[in-house]
Chains A and B, each alone.
Chain A
Amino acid sequence: AQSVAQPEDQVNVAEGNPLTVKCTYSVSGNPYLFWYVQYPNRGLQFLLKYITGDNLVKGSYGFEAEFNKSQTSFHLKKPSALVSDSALYFCAVRRNAGNMLTFGGGTRLMVKP
């Protein structure tokens, strides 16, 4: 079985400050890891992925994530938050040879001016 944990229901950060949204995973085999963002009444938008290679991956809108195999984590980061980053963020995992993408419960990011 594979699973994703997002331990924080909500993260609050002031505009201009760095942000981190946490994600840990459990999967057999090598993981494929993804971050998605969802705005109200919209579908999920792909931000970034880790499949292989460098542990630090860069994605859309200035977001990046660090894959840590020993801690089974894939935290989402951004050096300077914008109010427009406020949304629901989902981490997801898939086995490299698997089909099913499993999502975490989501973390609401609130960026205050």
Chain B
Amino acid sequence: DTGVSQDPRHKITKRGQNVTFRCDPISEHNRLYWYRQTLGQGPEFLTYFQNEAQLEKSRLLSDRFSAERPKGSFSTLEIQRTEQGDSAMYLCASSPEEGAAFFGQGTRLTVV
């Protein structure tokens, strides 16, 4: 499978715990995006990498959220001290310089 891969697909965590999600983009894509989507809503932009550089972060991304893309390959999104409001689908996408973004299946986070 040469698409965008996200792991895990589902995560249930207790409030206050830390969680980390992984995204493996399409190998030749230099751009990588993280989005958050709640039920019935459009995806909301969180952050963007070009190669290993994090070039843009949304104001939605609080200090509890951090993302990395070491060596410009896979990326991780960590949420510290999770809150119930963090419950959502977290989507990763990758794209070449000028083309469309291709999305992974997402990681559904439930904070209980």
Interface residues of A (CB under 8 A from B): 4, 34, 36, 41-46, 49, 51, 90, 99-106
Of A42, A45, A46, A105, most B-chain CB atoms within 10 Å: A46
Interface residues of B (CB under 8 A from A): 4, 31, 33, 35, 40-45, 48, 50, 55-56, 58, 91, 93, 98-106, 108
Q: Which residues of A contact B43 (CB under 8 A)?
A: 44, 90, 103
In the complex with contacts A43-B91, A90-B43, A101-B101 CB distance below 8 A: yes
A101 to B55, CA, bound (A): 13
Chain A's closest residue to B31 (CB) is: A99
Chain A's closest residue to B46 (CB) is: A100
Cross-interface CB contact of B42 among A51, A99, A104, cutoff 8 Å: A104
> Min CB distance, A2 to chain B, in Å?
10
Inter-chain contact B41/A44, CB cutoff 8 Å: no
Inter-chain contact A106/B41, CB cutoff 8 Å: yes
Cross-interface CB contact of A99 among B56, B98, B103, B105, cutoff 8 Å: B56
In the complex with contacts A43-B106, A90-B43, A49-B100 CB distance below 8 A: yes
Inter-chain contact A42/B105, CB cutoff 8 Å: yes
Inter-chain contact B42/A106, CB cutoff 8 Å: yes
> Min CB distance, A37 to chain B, in Å?
11
